Homo-oligomer: A and B are copies of this chain.
Amino acid sequence: MPRPSEFELIERFTRQFTRGEGVRVGVGDDAAVLRPPRGEELVATVDAVVEGVHFDRRFTPQEIGWKALAVNLSDLAAMGARPLWALVALATPPAADPARLERIGRGIAACARRHGVSVVGGNVTAARELSLTVTVLGAVERGRALLRSGGRPGDLLVVSGTLGDAALGIRPGAAPALRARQRRPRPRLALGRGAVGVARAAIDLSDGLLQDLGHLCTASGVGARVEVDRLPLSPAYRAATRRSRDPDLGALSGGEDYELLLAVPPSRLAALREAAHRARTPVTVVGALEARRGVRVVGGGRLLHPRHAGHDHLRPGRVLGPGPGRA
Give the interface of A toward B (CB within 8 A). Answer: 5-7, 9, 24-25, 28-36, 41-48, 50, 52-54, 75-76, 78-79, 81, 85, 87-89, 91-92, 94, 120-129, 131, 133, 135, 137-138, 140, 142-143, 145, 147-149, 202-204, 219, 312-316, 318
Q: Complex Cα distance A30/B36, Å?
A: 20
| Residues of B with C-beta under 8 A to A29 | 79, 147-149, 219
For A78, A219, A312, the residue with the greatest tally of chain B CB atoms inside 10 Å of its CB is: A312
Smallest distance from the beta carbon of A32 to chain B beta carbons, Å? 5
Let me know if B126 and A313 touch, CB within 8 A.
Answer: yes
Partner of A48, one of B24, B54, B89: B89
Q: Complex Cα distance A312/B142, Å?
A: 43
| Residues of B with C-beta under 8 A to A36 | 36, 41-42
Q: Complex Cα distance A99/B33, Å?
A: 37
Nearest B-chain residue to A9, judged by Cβ: B314
Partner of A127, one of B53, B122, B140, B202: B53
In the complex with contacts A121-B45, A314-B94, A126-B50 CB distance below 8 A: yes
Cβ contacts A to B, 18 pairs, < 8 Å = A6-B312, A25-B145, A28-B219, A31-B81, A32-B45, A34-B42, A36-B36, A46-B87, A46-B122, A48-B91, A50-B127, A53-B127, A87-B135, A91-B131, A125-B314, A126-B313, A126-B314, A129-B129
